[in-house]
Amino acid sequence: MTNHMIDLKNTNAALIMGSNMAENHPIGMKWLMKGRFDPKRQTKIIHVDPRFTRTSAVADIYCPIRSGTDIAFLGGMVKYIIDNELYHKDYVVNYTNAAFLIRDDFDFKDGLFSGWNPEKRSYDVSSWDYKYDESGNIMRDETLQDPRCVFQLMKKHYSRYDIDTVCSITGSPKKKYEEVLKSYCSTGAPDKTGCINYAMGITQHTVGAQNVKAFTVVQLLLGNMGRPGGGINALRGENNVQGATDMALLFHILPGYIDSPTASDAYKDLISYIRKTTPGVSKLPFTNLTELRALVAAGVKYSGWKIHTSKWIVSLLKAWYGDAATEANDFGYHYIPKRQDTKNYSHIALFEAMHKGEIDGLFINGSNPVVGGPNANKEQTALTKLKWMVSIDLWLNESAEFWSHTAWERAVNNDKVQRLTPKNIDTEVFFLPAAAVYEKEGTAAQTGRWVQFRWKGADPVGDSKADLWIYNELGKRLKALYADSTRPEDEPITKLTWDYDGHPGEEEPDILKVANELCGYTIADGKPVEGFALLKDDGSTACGNWIYCGGTTFKDGKMVYKPMLRKKEDPSGLGLFPNWGWAWPVNRRIIYNRCSVQPDGVTPWPGDEDRRLVWWDAADGAGAWAGHDVPDFIKTTGPDKPAFKDPFIMRPEGKGCLFATTSSFKDGPFPEHYEPWESPVAPIINKQAINPAAKVWEPDKQGKAEEFPIIATTYRVTEHWQTGALTRNLPWLAELMPNMFVELSEELAREKGIKNGSKVIVSTTRGDIEALACVTKRFKPFKVGGKEVHQIGMLWQFGFKGYATGDIANRLTPHIGDANTMCPEYKAFLCDIRRA
């Protein structure tokens, strides 16, 4: 979330798309309802979803949409905004790259952008860039009239997305679509803000990242970014998925969203790494950090805040390898693994590799891929190819017992689906019982980046242990195993700092030791570094994750871990609660908040005085940024500096990107609608069947509309959470949703002779499942490209363990992911349904 949960009360309109917010983020509805009853806001709740859900039930407007057509829907919105001049002009000109000119060789034709390489099925992105003048400045036209400016290119790009075309793609009733356009686009008025709340309904597509990009375009045009009640709010599903991402439990990044190195020239040593990952320095002459520091001090054009990357990586290395990290050995840069440059290591790739027998050992840290992974039949089979597996969880979930007899029971005999028995599965499984959330202590970062501490309220059950204890113990044992090694390849372990034990006699590790390392300390005295601006790249500071820097402080001779703060004050009345917990970065609650004030830095947007978050305070010494929130801006950047009007400090050009330049996206600088991998209709708006840059793993598993004419999607219900391990084992939740079911329209049920509550079989090319039918008025057939298509929906939260059981919906989903993120396309695939 660029904003945060409580901020939802400040919005005039909330577009909920690809999210069933009332069910999956119920507390968000609390704040939207506050807005609805606040006479100043009168929040309109707009829900766009294939199915009428409990969110739709309380929404002001509900508009159906066929799964996987969000870009068409939003593209039409962009066109509507431009055609009706509903955009926030001052905002667009000053805070976005609308006025920037794009290279002349950039082009778009037949659904393909310039630079397409059909052999490699990828783009050469060099033409997707700004035009620079002789002095290296980006060329711009603030009148937005130049045909090569982003605004005009965008207008041209979306000119094809007229309402009728959009509705023929999305299947939305025209009247409802127009209602949505009218209601939401009214937030382009300077005194109004609107927020977009989304979840996996947006990202779990082959065009997932571009779906979000389309939100960016809409929100930037309407001037809704960086302002209270605005923003693009990813409603994250797991309580600390934000933190896990921050800590880089992902192959492509290191903690704090800096690149993970690859085995390539660009990452071959620390200086190369810095050159590659720091914007604006690639062509500058430097061979060591001292030279770089001098260049940075002199100023680097188009670099943004990421100019400090060297400080972040060096401090990270110091935190991990301590005294062994010196300038002489690149601060231990080589201890960090370098992945293969062209290889993908994401979830789908990981299981594809495992399925081929390329992986021997697997750690499952509170996860359940047998239920939650796409193409679960395949992922379950992949687990049998492991030599050993460690599962850490509270319960024996489906993945921990993938080898059991029940795990291989199937409702339908399908010779394409492998069936095994425990006897022929040779994987050793170690199950480590973990303590529940309130049986241990630690912090979690919620969806609005607020980091809050959880105290221990009960003892762990039986012999179960906190995960922190488990990892600490394992780390200690590994270090002991390698203690005598002198081999250079074992140095990453032998040199690793690993000192988290509590006071003598205490069994639990000292969480504050971890916190101190994570949030950063000065090597000399071990005291907290008070903010990431103070991190150094000379080895004098250590910080495990630069974005968490400032989360600790030293007060009255004691370390204070700011997530523990529980002061409930909200001076601004905007729900920022600056002393409740701590938010990264540097306790900033709404990012890009420079946008909440006019370009002059002082005047609020007309009619919107009470939503100004930050401002330039000329009276403060030589002038400084101040405000209700921590300014998302360099404190001393005053009106005399060129960057004064550049609110997006993480971007090299400082602007919000309507046009995504060069390597930002693999599949295009503007979002373009492509059909899902499995779609019941031929492409309507362009000539491409699917997102051309998406990697197809299993071409033979693509379901065809002739055999599988029904669109299927998966989702959750409020009563269960994710794979259900943490809810299907709770009797109070099991009773609310006791069995797996499939929702289908009354029309389809009639056609197939399916009775409500009866058993049905759903099949795709990947497998079959049995479920109970939930025949409902809340699903209606779509009219797409002139023909009627049916869509059904399934819960993906069931499995064979726990109090509430049912077949695993992901046995049906495909192994195909988004072109950028590899997020699997769970939300739109083809199936057939019949009576059991």
Partner 1 sequence: MANMTNLYDSSICTACRACQVACKNWNQLPASIKPFKGNYQTHEDTDGDTYTIVLMNEVDNAAHGVDWNFAKFQCMHCFDAACMKVCPKGAYTKTEWGATIHDPDKCIGCQYCTYACPFGVPKHRKREDKIAKCTLCADRVTEGLAPACATTCAPGALRFGDRDELIEYARERVKSLQANGYPNATIYGINELGGLNKLYILTDTPDKFGLPVNPQTYGTINFWQNWVQPYFGWLIPVALGASAVSFVTTRLMADKHQDHPVEGGHE
Partner 2 sequence: MKVTRRQFLKLAGGTAASFAVVDLGFDMQATAAAIKELRIKNVTPTPTVCPYCASGCGLVVYSEKNAEGKFVRLLSVVGDPDNPINEGCACSKGSAMFNLREIYEPETGHQVVNPKRVQKPLYRAPGSEKWEEKEWDWILDEIAQRIKQTRDASFIHKEKIADGTEIIVNRTEKIASIGGSGLDNEECYLLTKMMRSLGVVFLETQARI
To partner 2, the closest distance from the beta carbon of 127 in angstroms equals: 24
Q: Choose the stretch contacting partner 1; rule: CB under 8 A; options: 68-76, 260-268, 732-740, 822-830.
A: 732-740
Q: For residues 529 and 220, what is the distance between their CA atoms, to the nearest angstrom?
A: 35
Contacts 24+ apart (CB under 8 A), 481-484: none
Q: For residues 176 and 76, what is the distance between their CA atoms, to the nearest angstrom?
A: 13
Q: Kindly identify the residues of this chain, within the stretch 486-505, that bind partner 2 according to CB under 8 A.
A: 488-489, 492-493, 496, 500
To partner 1, the closest distance from the beta carbon of 537 in angstroms equals: 46
To partner 2, the closest distance from the beta carbon of 239 in angstroms equals: 5
Q: Which residue has the tokens 């590899």?
A: 822
Cβ-count burial 637-674 (b if 16+ within 10 Å, e if not): bbeeeeebbbbbbebbbbbbbbbbbeebbbbbbbbbbb
Is residue 800 close enough to count as binding partner 1 by CB under 8 A?
no
Q: Which residue has the tokens 């992986």?
A: 359
Residue from 11, 56, 97, 587 touching partner 1 (CB under 8 A): that is 56
Q: For residues 202 and 75, what is the distance between their CA atoms, to the nearest angstrom?
A: 14
Structural contact between residues 231 and 1, judged by C-beta atoms closer than 8 angstroms: yes
Cβ-count burial 12-38 (b if 16+ within 10 Å, e if not): bbbbbbbbbbbbbbeebbebbbbbbee
Q: Kindly identify the residues of this chain, within the stretch 698-727, that bind partner 2 according to CB under 8 A.
A: 718-722, 726-727
Residue from 274, 314, 386, 775 touching partner 1 (CB under 8 A): that is 775
Is residue 367 close enough to count as binding partner 2 by CB under 8 A?
yes
- Contacts with partner 2 by CB under 8 A: the residue count is 168
Residue from 246, 667, 719, 768 touching partner 1 (CB under 8 A): that is 719
To partner 2, the closest distance from the beta carbon of 7 in angstroms equals: 11
Q: 12 contacts which partner out of partner 1, partner 2, none, CB within 5 to 8 A by kind? A: none
Report the DSSP pairing between strands 782-784 and 787-789: antiparallel
To partner 1, the closest distance from the beta carbon of 9 in angstroms equals: 11
Residue from 209, 247, 595, 804 touching partner 1 (CB under 8 A): that is 804
Q: 704 contacts which partner out of partner 2, partner 1, none, CB within 5 to 8 A by kind? A: none
To partner 2, the closest distance from the beta carbon of 277 in angstroms equals: 17
- DSSP structural state of residue 666: S
Structural contact between residues 188 and 83, judged by C-beta atoms closer than 8 angstroms: no
Q: Rounded to whole angstroms, what are the CA distances from 446 to 234, 449, 450, 826?
A: 11, 5, 5, 24
Nearer to partner 1, 66 or 88 (CB): 66
Nearer to partner 2, 433 or 738 (CB): 433
Tokens at residue 393, please?
């969880």
Nearer to partner 1, 47 or 666 (CB): 47
The 10 Å Cβ neighbour count of residue 532 is 25
Is residue 766 close enough to count as binding partner 2 by CB under 8 A?
no
Q: Kindly identify the residues of this chain, within the stretch 130-159, that bind partner 1 according to CB under 8 A.
A: none
Nearer to partner 2, 268 or 293 (CB): 268
Rg of the chain on CA atoms, in Å: 27
Nearer to partner 1, 606 or 731 (CB): 731
To partner 1, the closest distance from the beta carbon of 36 in angstroms equals: 8
Residue from 79, 192, 236, 766 touching partner 2 (CB under 8 A): that is 236
Q: For residues 561 and 503, what is the distance between their CA atoms, to the nearest angstrom?
A: 18
To partner 1, the closest distance from the beta carbon of 710 in angstroms equals: 19
Q: Which residue has the tokens 């009960």?
A: 458
In the shown chain, the binding pattern of residues 13 to 52 toward partner 1, with x for contact by CB under 8 A and - for none, equals: ---------xx--xx-xx--xx-----------------x
Residue from 737, 809, 823, 830 touching partner 1 (CB under 8 A): that is 737
Please give the angle made by the CA atoms of 793, 798 and 800, to the nearest 5 degrees: 145
Q: Kindly identify the residues of this chain, within the stretch 512-541, that bind partner 1 according to CB under 8 A.
A: none
Q: Kindly identify the residues of this chain, within the stretch 521-550, that bind partner 2 according to CB under 8 A.
A: 544-545, 548
If we measure between CA atoms, which residue out of 5, 802, 11, 828 comes closest to residue 368?
802
Name residue 138's beta-bridge partners.
132
The 10 Å Cβ neighbour count of residue 326 is 13
Name residue 16's beta-bridge partners.
47, 197
Residue type, 521: Y
Count the residues in the chain. Answer: 836
Q: 201 contacts which partner out of partner 1, partner 2, none, CB within 5 to 8 A by kind? A: none
If we measure between CA atoms, which residue out of 239, 223, 212 comes closest to residue 188?
223
Nearer to partner 1, 57 or 483 (CB): 57
The gap between the terminal CA atoms of the chain, to the nearest Å, is 43
Q: For residues 251 and 341, what is the distance between their CA atoms, to the nearest angstrom?
A: 12
Which stretches does DSSP call E strand in 512-618? Answer: 521-522, 541-542, 552-555, 558-561, 582-583, 614-617
Q: Choose the stretch contacting partner 1; rule: CB under 8 A; options: 56-64, 99-107, 150-158, 270-278.
A: 56-64
In the shown chain, the binding pattern of residues 314 to 343 toward partner 2, with x for contact by CB under 8 A and - for none, equals: ------x-------------xxxxxx-x--
To partner 1, the closest distance from the beta carbon of 178 in angstroms equals: 15
Q: Rounded to whole angstroms, what are the CA distances from 16 to 59, 197, 575?
A: 9, 5, 21
- The string of DSSP letters for 123-181 reads E-GGGSSB-B-TTSPBPB-TTS--TTBHHHHHHHHGGG--HHHHHHHH---HHHHHHHH
- DSSP structural state of residue 689: S
Check the CA dihedral 227-231-237-238 and report its sign: negative
Nearer to partner 2, 475 or 683 (CB): 475
- Contacts with partner 1 by CB under 8 A: the residue count is 41
Q: Kindly identify the residues of this chain, within the stretch 447-466, that bind partner 2 according to CB under 8 A.
A: 447-448, 450-459, 461-466
Residue from 144, 232, 518, 774 touching partner 2 (CB under 8 A): that is 518
Q: 255 contacts which partner out of partner 1, partner 2, none, CB within 5 to 8 A by kind? A: partner 2
Q: Choose the stretch contacting partner 2; rule: CB under 8 A; options: 70-78, 83-91, 276-284, 360-368.
A: 360-368
In the shown chain, the binding pattern of residues 256 to 275 toward partner 2, with x for contact by CB under 8 A and - for none, equals: ----x--xxx--xx------
Q: 353 contacts which partner out of partner 2, partner 1, none, CB within 5 to 8 A by kind? A: partner 2
Q: 438 contacts which partner out of partner 2, partner 1, none, CB within 5 to 8 A by kind? A: partner 2
Q: 183 contacts which partner out of partner 2, partner 1, none, CB within 5 to 8 A by kind? A: none
Q: Choose the stretch contacting partner 1; rule: CB under 8 A; options: 304-312, 366-374, 413-421, 728-736.
A: 728-736
Nearer to partner 1, 1 or 613 (CB): 1
In the shown chain, the binding pattern of residues 553 to 582 toward partner 2, with x for contact by CB under 8 A and - for none, equals: -----------x-x-x-x----x-x--x--
**CA of residue 799 relative to chain centroid, distance:** 26
Q: Where are the alpha helices (DSSP H) in 67-141?
A: 70-83, 89-95
Q: List residues binding partner 1 (CB under 8 A).
A: 22-23, 26-27, 29-30, 33-34, 52, 54-58, 62, 717-719, 731-739, 741, 756-758, 772-778, 780, 803-804
